[in-house]
Chains A and B, each alone.
Chain A
Amino acid sequence: MLQGAVTSRPVRGVGALTLAIGLLVTNVSVLGARPAARPAAAQAPQARDQRLYPALQREPGDPEVIARGQAVYGISCRACHGLDLRGGDLGGPNLLRSQLVLKDDGGDLMGPVIRDGQSGAGDSSMPPQNLSDEDLDAVVEYIHDILGTASRQGGPPPGEEVELDILVGDATAGQTYFADRCASCHSPTGDLQGIGARVESPKELQDTWVRGGARNAERPPITVTVTRPSGEPVSGTLERLNDFLVVLTEDDGRHRSFTRRGDTPRVEVDDPMAAHREMLPLYGDADIHNVTAYLVTLQ
């Protein structure tokens, strides 16, 4: 929710996690080439006292107790609350976002509910669980341990990687679309030869072609021509452009800058990426899926 308000400056000590958040939101990008955030799990481990919330700051429990708790959970809790604690077919609520679980301290809130059950809460009632004190403590420890692995921004623990097939498009239709809209700049036997083999993941391939290049790829230079009312045009590689200034590097490496005031001097920009940007409002999702299906065939 507060996403758009996140600072793009990494916060010292909150380190990797905040950096990931920062990258996520620098979305007003020049060419849309910002790297996407990596899952929190891929980040370097973080000092416990620098983590954001109590559930994550908690000291890890005894592995043996946690293992016992996991076994108890599997027997007594899993059917209702799910293998991953996120709720199950029998109507048990998601424990990882449960206000009671989050506020629990060593079983002070969970204990009575597990032992005595709970009636009429929301959609379901929980029957009492006949657990020994040791098993009850163990299952509480296990639940806290899982809570401590949650992803950033309220996401669940990473879990196992799920293979999802994004290739739903029609390659033939994609080829037709490509011929109509892309072939003036790109060729399946030229710059895109073997693109389906060069970019292994269809998702990465789709991201790449819609964006107009790989995530961290160097963009082709933008050229600019500046023409003053009383002078020869000056051309070069665009360095900076805003409403007040245009900065360029001439072919011989000379640095030039010009004050802008309205339409003076005349500034003509030739941005090879402009065509990709201009296509963005025009694509239908089916067009995108079809073109991806086609490009995958360019092995």
Chain B
Amino acid sequence: MTATLATHRPKPPRCVTALAAALLFAPIASSAQPGGLDPASLVAPLEDSWPTYSGDYSGRRYSKLAQVTTDNVHQLTLAWTRTLDSGMPALEGNNAPDFIGGEGTGDFTIGSQRIKGSILQVGDLLYVTAPDHVWALDVRDGGERWHYFWKTRGGPHIGNRGVAIWHDSVIFETVDNYLVSLDATTGEERWHTEIASFEEQYFSTMAPIVVGDHLLVGTGNDLDAPGFLQSFDPATGELQWKFYTVPMTEQDAGIETWPSLDAAMHGGGQVWVPGSYDPETNYYIFGTGNPTPGYTGVARLGDNLFTCTLIAVDVETGEMAWYFQTSPHDTHDWDSAQTPILIDGVIDGVPRKLVSTAARNGYFFTIDRVTGEHIVTTRYGATSNWASHIRESGSPNPHPAKEAIIPGSLVSPVEGGVANWQPPAFSPDTGLFYTQENNGFNLLYLTDPDPRGSMGLGGKDRVTVGSGGNALSAIDYRTGETTWRHVWPVGGGGGAGVLTTAGGLVFTGDGSGNFVAFDAADGDLLWNTRIGNISNAPQTYLIDGRQHVLVASGQQLFAFVMY
């Protein structure tokens, strides 16, 4: 495992605008922008605003705002709603976006896309994304301040997790692997730089994370390519370091968990969901994706480090400090990319610095976030049936019989996992970790028994055969035991992330068209409004002294307020 320092500059930044073609080849002098959002402010616990993906660095999605409480949540009122046209815009005319960038021809058309990321709120603006789109909206009525559109070269337009804000720059990733920096006030492009090879079929969805003068950036790939996390200079887009999640030389750590260097270098471990950041250690802690080929592990026997692994890297150097593998030798496309949550807790009477994660494979983990020492492993996916036992290390051990086999194996969860990218939440008031829990079953057939394995996610047939029931689960971080669990009526679940607040509430979606609020302590269902299935995680902030709750359903935003 190595972090290589950049030896080359990215190609010169360019600015392309529809309105100012004269600027097409103008050199852009990028320098640290004074003013705007001070990166140092991101270490503050989540309260009045929502300035980074998880609200703050902890990943807790716990707001100190307490105007909305278990007693008055039923009085939440709709402040405004706004539908965004997230499809292919007119590129010319009055309705055209304010600024248009991109290296594509404009011929690759995209359809309406759901809002599946975090919406950053700073000052009077909200910054919202869908693939290839960024909008700045007025925080008081959702009115459009500016709209930026990126002409893509292609790639799977499956979602975008939001922007990062660094001083007065708004920075986001495009499906076709560019990092694009916009003027936060006007939406005009400052620069863009390529972050991964489109030819190698990388595609990018992650919300970049600002840590000081570093911008942490991940990408995705399904075609047997190595995963990596990169750090860029948020002022210029210059690469600072690149951390590969799989061995890229015979000398790299973890090579002993692969049959060959060729297998390792094609072994996946993509970094596509934002992690969390611990200012005390300067560690960025994140999860990695599945090994590849995804379903045919025959040509990559071994644990396949550092795929499906919780990793701490030093933000300054990109060097790995510790790791814990949450899913050795995965063969089900179950990333462990879920956002981990930093918890300052007490274990056996001793104060500890912890990190917890509820993985896609149905297992919950608590780890010492300073040392990487394993503390807790439990199964939270009620029907997860793929592990033979828990290893002494705390990692669940995969049962070979539960891989894709020719006569079919009955596997739970399904490909989407018990949890997926949808953010979980943690309340320090209750000590509970809240996550959606999806317990589907599929019959998994091996269709390509080639001893070389298949490629990508090929080589299997998946047949969904039913569900063991879905739930919202509240897990005690100290024991991994489920304290309360709300089982959704048949057909509910999935889809929505979670928010928790000092008002004693948990907000999420029920998968049956409702935005709902629970009592965080006991799971009592307190409130609902039928606005459609929630497509992101709810968020909260303070405007004019009043607590607002913001959530997306498909292309539509809903802002609620407590008067």
Interface residues, chain A, CB within 8 Å of chain B? 1-7, 9-14, 18, 21, 24-25, 27-32, 34, 36, 49-55, 57, 82, 86-87, 93-94, 96-97, 99, 102-103, 122-123, 150-151, 153-156, 162, 164-169, 203, 206-207, 210-212, 240-244, 262, 269, 271, 273, 276-277, 280-281, 283, 285, 288-289
A18 and B467 alpha carbons, distance in the complex (Å): 24
- Shortest beta-carbon distance from A31 to chain B in Å: 7
B49 at the interface (CB under 8 A from A): no
Report how many A-B pairs have Cβ atoms within 8 Å: 299
User: Quick one: closest B residue to A206, CB to CB?
Assistant: B408
Q: Mark B497-530, 1 if CB is under 8 A from A, else 0.
A: 0000000000000111110100000000100101
Give per-residue flags for B459-486: 1 if the beta carbon is below 8 A from chain A beta carbons, else 0: 1011111111110000000000000000
Mask: chain B, 79-93; 1 = CB below 8 Å from A; 0 = not: 000000001100000
Q: Which residues of B contact A (CB under 8 A)?
A: 87-88, 105, 107-114, 116, 153-159, 197-201, 203, 205, 220-225, 260-262, 265-266, 268, 270, 272, 289-290, 292-294, 333, 335, 337, 360, 383, 385, 401, 405-410, 412, 414-417, 420-421, 438, 440-443, 445-450, 452, 454-459, 461-470, 488-495, 510-514, 516, 525, 528, 530, 554
B128 to chain A, nearest CB (A): 16
CA distance A244 to B111 in the complex (A): 33
Q: How far is the CA of A262 from the CA of B289 in the complex (A)?
A: 39
What residue in chain A is nearest B527 (Cβ atoms)?
Answer: A244
Q: Is the CB of B467 within 8 A of A211?
A: no
Least distance between B551 CB and chain A CB atoms (Å): 17
Q: How far is the CB of A219 from chain B (nearest CB, A)?
A: 11
List of 7 A-B pairs having minimum Cβ-Cβ separation, nearest first: A154-B456, A155-B458, A13-B109, A32-B466, A4-B416, A154-B223, A12-B111
Q: For the complex, what is the distance from the CA of A12 to the CA of B154, rounded to whole Å?
A: 13
B556 → chain A closest CB, angstroms: 13
Chain B residues with CB under 8 A of A156: 448, 454-456, 458-459
* Consensus secondary structure, chain A interface: loop
Q: Indicate whether A53 sits within 8 Å of B201 (C-beta atoms), given known contacts A27-B442, A167-B407.
A: yes
Query: What are 25 pairs between A and B in contact, CB < 8 Å?
Result: A1-B220, A1-B290, A1-B337, A4-B415, A5-B421, A13-B109, A13-B110, A14-B157, A18-B156, A27-B414, A27-B442, A28-B491, A49-B108, A52-B154, A55-B199, A86-B450, A153-B458, A154-B224, A162-B448, A206-B443, A212-B466, A244-B528, A271-B490, A280-B412, A289-B407
In the complex, what's the smallest C-beta–C-beta distance from A30 to chain B, in angstroms?
4
Picked from B113, B383, B456, the residue with its CB within 8 Å of the CB of A11 is B113
Chain A residues with CB below 8 A from B337, complex form: 1
Chain A residues in 8 Å Cβ range of B154: 50-54, 57
Q: Say yes or no: A32-B225 contact (C-beta < 8 A), given A1-B294, A14-B111.
A: no
What are the residues of chain B within 8 A of A244 when measuring CB–CB? 514, 528, 530
B465 contact set on A, CB distance < 8 A: 32, 207, 210-211, 280
CB distance from B468 to the nearest CB of A (A): 6
Sample of 6 more A-B contacts, CB < 8 Å, known A93-B262, A207-B443, A244-B530: A1-B457, A51-B154, A97-B223, A164-B445, A277-B469, A285-B405
Partner of B110, one of A5, A14, A99: A14
Residue in A3, A103, A151, A271 with the greatest tally of chain B CB atoms within 10 Å:
A3
User: Which chain B residues border A36 with CB–CB below 8 Å?
Assistant: 461-464
Report the bound CA distance from A190 to B74 in whole Å: 53
B153 surroundings in chain A (CB, below 8 A)? 54
Please measure, in the bound complex, the distance between the C-alpha atom of A1 and the C-alpha atom of B88, giving whole angstroms.
Answer: 26
Contact of A155 among B108, B459, B510 (CB under 8 A): B459
* Given contact pairs A53-B199, A97-B224, A165 touches B512 in the complex (Cβ within 8 A): no
State A50–B463 Cα separation when bound (angstroms): 28
Interchain nearest-CB distance for A273 vs B (Å): 8
Q: Tell me the bound Cα distance from A4 to B221 in angstroms.
A: 14
Q: Does B410 lie within 8 Å of A288, measured CB to CB? A: yes
When distances are taken between beta carbons in the complex, the residues of chain B under 8 Å from A243 are: 488-489, 492, 510, 512, 514, 516, 525, 528
Is B443 a contact partner of A154 (Cβ separation < 8 A)?
no
The distance in angstroms between the C-alpha atoms of A53 and B447, with both chains bound, is 25
Known contacts A50-B109, A57-B154, A165-B406, A13 near B88 by CB under 8 Å:
yes
Question: How far, in angstroms, from A56 to B17 measured CA to CA in the complex?
Answer: 29
Which residue of chain A has the shortest Cβ distance to B116 in the bound complex?
A5
When C-beta atoms are compared, the residue in chain A nearest to B401 turns out to be A285
- A228–B512 CA distance with the chains assembled, in angstroms: 23
Instruction: Name which residue of chain B comes closest to A165, CB basis.
Output: B406
Q: Which of these, B109, B113, B261, B528, contacts A122 with CB under 8 Å?
A: B261
Contact among A25, A53, A277 with B467 in the assembled complex (CB-CB below 8 Å): A277
Taking a contact as CB atoms under 8 Å apart, the answer to whether B289 and A1 are in contact is yes
Task: Decide yes or no: A123 and B416 within 8 Å by CB, A12-B111, A210-B443 being known contacts.
Answer: no
Q: Are A285 and B222 in contact, with the CB atoms below 8 A? A: no
User: Smallest CB-CB separation from B202: which chain A residue?
Assistant: A53
Residues of B within 8 A of A32 (CB): 440-441, 464-467
Chain A residues with Cβ under 8 A from B458's Cβ? 151, 153-156
Chain B residues near A168: list those with CB within 8 A: 406-407
- Given A28-B416, A36-B461, A2 contacting B205 (CB threshold 8 A): yes
Docked pose: A169 CA to B409 CA in angstroms:
12
- The answer on a CB contact under 8 Å between B225 and A7 is no
Query: In whole angstroms, what is the CA distance A49 to B107 when docked?
Result: 7
Query: Measured between C-beta atoms, what is the minimum distance from B39 to chain A in Å?
Result: 28
Contacts of A86 in B (CB 8 A): 450, 452, 455
- Of all chain B residues, the one with the shortest Cβ separation from A283 is B410
Chain B residue nearest in CB terms to A29: B464
> Do A12 and B87 touch (CB < 8 A)?
yes
Provide the bound-state CA to CA distance between A210 and B410, in Å.
9
Chain B residue with minimal CB distance to A56? B154
CA distance A283 to B410 in the complex (A): 8
Given A11-B111, A32-B467, A94-B452: A4 and B261 interface contact (C-beta under 8 Å): no
Q: Which residues of B contact A155 (CB under 8 A)?
A: 454-459
Taking CB atoms, residues of chain B closer than 8 Å to A281 are 383, 385, 412, 468
User: How many whole Å from A154's CB to the nearest CB in chain B?
Assistant: 2
Whether B468 lies near A123 (C-beta < 8 A) is no
